[in-house]
Structure 1
Amino acid sequence: MATTTGTAAPQLAGSPLLGSLPDLKKDSLGTFLRARHEHGDVVKLTAGPPGIRATFYGVFSAEGAQQVLAGESANFRKDNAFYQEIRESFGNGLLTSQDEDYLRQRRLVQPLFTKRRVDGYAAAVAAEVTTLIGEWRDGGDGTVDVHHEMTRFALRAVARILFGTDVDAAVEIVERSFPELGAYVLSRGYAPLKVPRDWPTPGNRKAAAVHRALYEVCDRIIAERRASGRASAEGDDLLTLLVGAESAEDGSFDATELREQVLVFLLAGHETTATSLAFALHLLGRHPEALKRAHEEVDRVLAGRTPGAADLDALPYVTQVLKETMRLFPAAPAIGRRAVAATVIDGVAIPAGADVIVSSWVTHRHPAYWEDPERFDPERFTPEAEAARPRYAWFPFGGGPRACIGQHFSMLESVIALAMILQKYGFETVDTEVPVGSAITLTTEGPARCRLVPRTA
């Protein structure tokens, strides 16, 4: 544990009555950027009226992020208000669980995410990309909102891998429900005073109805799979493996735990990939020289065939495009923790019990690590360039012992999908700027339209 002697944190100015709450609700990511620009790498922020005002510390350096997520991870827990709201909305799965619950879940789930197992999902990803491309072709090509299209694709892909052939039953309900639950979590997380969830307010009743719909579809599919005692028609999907996950030390998942793991996999497994793919297409549409280079690599390496897991290493520029996209548009732009004991980050004292936010959105734009940080440049992610930067200058999948268990799957899905789309299409950006915000994950607050340009063989 670091020494507890440090300087007092500089504080971002806010309104006398509400502190920085209005700015955070309007544009939390812009507020964090302003805090670092005006005050440095550790900044104190307040939100809410006196007496019930929340205080937290923004941590924006790569070294600070590494300390919170990895070096002193045991001192920084998922105990803040936002994680509690996510826990109550999506259950106590891998994303939100802690201590022995988390360790037990991780041990049971880890065998499902080995490289060999994940590589086996490449065919299911490719099948969903083929369906998407067919829909674009049959729709007359034209202009599409790439965020909407990639969200639906990624949701179908993760549902197919989770449920096998039982995709359609889940997709429609999840597609409608997750944005509503995300908005509900966000509003409650920022609220200085929270109305109990069981009070019959319009917001609570709507959220309860969404919960029931999500739980019912998950419970039905899980019950059918357990009753059948067999895998889906496509083989060992993740649900089959989760149902069968068992060890002498940890036992197995009961019905409630299975549902909570499924919901977390659906949430984390589609929104992150959708964000990366949507903005990759949008950025390539704005940067024709990068698009041309990506097309040339895909054509040279694949020569028209469908990519598989073995092709990932042979597509370095496509991978660099995705990594640079995840730098500019990280799906998890802010990660919260709560300090158990007092510590010091970058020379600034953090008291015991303090809420801390590390923000990849800010760190990924930090001028100490990134020259001209708003510029799209996939060359930032050559092996030589990556080796020259601090480890936590780029952390789109979190880090430390709580790093995303599905990061290899996300990269596999993203590279295969982007390569297959580039085999058939070029892109011209229609909406040159896409406003974004932060709920549970990064969200778009306007259309991200691109014009599809079919490629001739």
Structure 2
Amino acid sequence: MATTAQPAPGRAIPELTGLPLLGSLLDLKNDSLGTFLKARRDHGDVVRISAGPPGMRATVHCVFSAEGAQQVLAGDAANFRKDNAFYQEIRESFGNGLLTSQDGDYLRQRRLVQPLFTRRSVDGYASAIATEVTRLTDAWREEDRGSVDVVHEMTRLALRAVARILFGTDVEAAVAIVERCFPALGDYVSRRGYSPRKVPRAWPTPGNRRATVVHEELYAVCDRIIAERRAAGTAGEGQDLLTLLVAAGSDEDGGFDAAELREQVLVFLLAGHETTATSLGFALHLLARHPEEQKRAHEELDRVLSGRTPGAADLDELPYLTRVLKEAMRLFPAAPAIGRRAVEATEIGGHTIPAGADVIVSPWVTHRHPRYWDDPERFDPDRFTPEREAERPRYAWFPFGGGPRACIGQHFSMLESVIALAMILQSYELEAIDTRVPLASAITLQALGPARCRLRPRTA
């Protein structure tokens, strides 16, 4: 193996000041998002944060500039791997699917899955998405709902949409189990991922036993549906995504066995609903808090759609609605922090990141960086006009990650979000009841309180 020249020692990396015994442990536990913002504000674009008591202390190196994020995720991506403790916990709970696999496993999986996520393939899911949105808005109308928690409602909508696309007619059985099991397993992963010392999973602690139960339930429902699809082959009812995954293969890569199919399904369920739900829920909440911007969205929808159901071909015809979603993803990125581990020492922004260091790039912070964003906390969809986008560095906005590990489902997420947002706004005007929603960072960005909005049916 060829040796790589080590970078010259850079400037000392500043460290966020914490408590003498615990470092920044309590700050990260109580408000990790605010702690990252404070680290950049007080110390710059490359900052060390240490947490935990002596002998158990963990240190992460945070990179907050757009240029640094591009280096970690794209330019030097081979040097920054998904080898950290958090990804290992996701891997052990949800399997070694496309989100967590590496090296040859990842490349093989990506080659097998990529044809199913081309723009043309994804556009074919528009009608399934519209079916679920219609189901939701019909329920609101029939129940005469005066208000809804939009983040909660969009979480359920996004889960049903991705489950329908994955499982077709088996959507109901899958949704019931995933709704019950995913939050518990996600909490378990987050607690273990952030813990400096972990109890072995095999120990019969209450937390481990609860996680085992929900883990087995998830595996069982996926295995049952997969077995039915494999038995039916391509002659099964409908061409849902699972049927296509069962059929996926090539001479070079073979196909997915049953365990690999389950791992891909679980990752698609995890990544495919929580991220889109965050974008949709907060886009609705932001519009509910900003009536002028909501009015502009209504005017565009009325002009372009004239009351009809939107399809994939309408995405390019709804630029303002797309800007609303991009601005929602700037302010509320579904993945507020992205972790990697450095293989070799690397210079970033004049500082040397040591070999073996845990590294975090943070859309939450970079999306608020005053170097790239004027008045960064203000909701302004027009930040994303083509002219203004061209003025910013590529990684000033990266809600889908970037580089060779960028989210394969980017177009699917935007398709679902635009269609759902359009159909809900065609039916309703919204007014915010809760103007502030407390947040936390887990596997994805989490709302800790309600985001309630009043619903006012629109007249034709």
**1:174 aligned residue:** 178
TM-score using structure 1 length: 0.99
1:57 aligns with 2:66: no
**1:16 corresponds to which of 4, 17, 20:** 20
Aligned-residue CA RMSD (Å): 0.9
Q: Which amino acid aligns with 2:340?
A: R
Q: Which amino acid aligns with 2:292?
A: E
Q: Which amino acid aligns with 2:261?
A: L
- SS of 1:371's equivalent in the other structure is coil
Summarize the alignment of residues 66-85 of structure 1 with structure 2, pairs less than 5 Å apart: 66-85=70-89
**2:269 corresponds to which of 266, 270, 286:** 266
In 2, Cα distance between equivalents of 1:192 and 1:263: 26
1:282-314 deviation line (CA, Å, top 9, x unaligned): 000000000000000000000111111000000
Summarize the alignment of residues 296-311 of structure 1 with structure 2, pairs less than 5 Å apart: 296-311=299-314
Contact 2:230/2:246 (CA < 8 Å) preserved in 1?
yes
Q: Which amino acid aligns with 1:114?
A: T
In 2, Cα distance between equivalents of 1:183 and 1:18: 23
Contact 1:329/1:361 (CA < 8 Å) preserved in 2?
yes
- Quote how far apart the aligned CAs of 1:6 are: 0.9
- SS of 1:164's equivalent in the other structure is helix
**2:392 aligned residue:** 389
1:212 aligns with 2:190: no
**1:449 aligned residue:** 452
> Any unmatched runs of 5+ in structure 1?
none
1:141 aligns with 2:145: yes
- Quote how far apart the aligned CAs of 1:229 are: 2.1
1:229 aligns with 2:233: yes
In 1, Cα distance between equivalents of 2:297 and 2:119: 25
- Quote how far apart the aligned CAs of 1:141 are: 2.5
Alignment size in residue pairs: 456
1:89 aligns with 2:93: yes
Q: Which amino acid aligns with 1:325?
A: A
- Quote how far apart the aligned CAs of 1:232 are: 4.9
In 2, Cα distance between equivalents of 1:21 and 1:239: 42
1:38 aligns with 2:42: yes
1:295 aligns with 2:298: yes
Q: Which amino acid aligns with 1:209?
A: V
- Quote how far apart the aligned CAs of 1:228 are: 1.8
- Quote how far apart the aligned CAs of 1:98 are: 0.3
In 1, Cα distance between equivalents of 2:106 and 2:285: 37
Alignment CA distance shift 1:284-1:231 (3 Å): farther
In 2, Cα distance between equivalents of 1:81 and 1:211: 19
**Runs of 4+ deviating beyond 4 Å:** none
Alignment CA distance shift 1:257-1:316 (3 Å): same
In 2, Cα distance between equivalents of 1:232 and 1:383: 44
Contact 1:231/1:240 (CA < 8 Å) preserved in 2?
no
Q: Which amino acid aligns with 1:28?
A: S
**1:103 corresponds to which of 107, 115, 134:** 107
In 2, Cα distance between equivalents of 1:231 and 1:386: 46
- Quote how far apart the aligned CAs of 1:68 are: 0.1
- Quote how far apart the aligned CAs of 1:5 are: 2.7
Summarize the alignment of residues 381-420 of structure 1 with structure 2, pairs less than 5 Å apart: 381-420=384-423
1:394-429 deviation line (CA, Å, top 9, x unaligned): 000000000000000000000011011111101000
- SS of 1:43's equivalent in the other structure is strand
**1:247 corresponds to which of 250, 261, 268:** 250
> Any unmatched runs of 5+ in structure 2?
none
- SS of 1:144's equivalent in the other structure is strand
Range with bigger deviation, 202-211 or 224-233: 224-233
In 2, Cα distance between equivalents of 1:298 and 1:401: 35
Q: Which amino acid aligns with 2:333?
A: P
Q: Which amino acid aligns with 1:22?
A: L
**2:198 aligned residue:** 194
In 2, Cα distance between equivalents of 1:30 and 1:232: 50
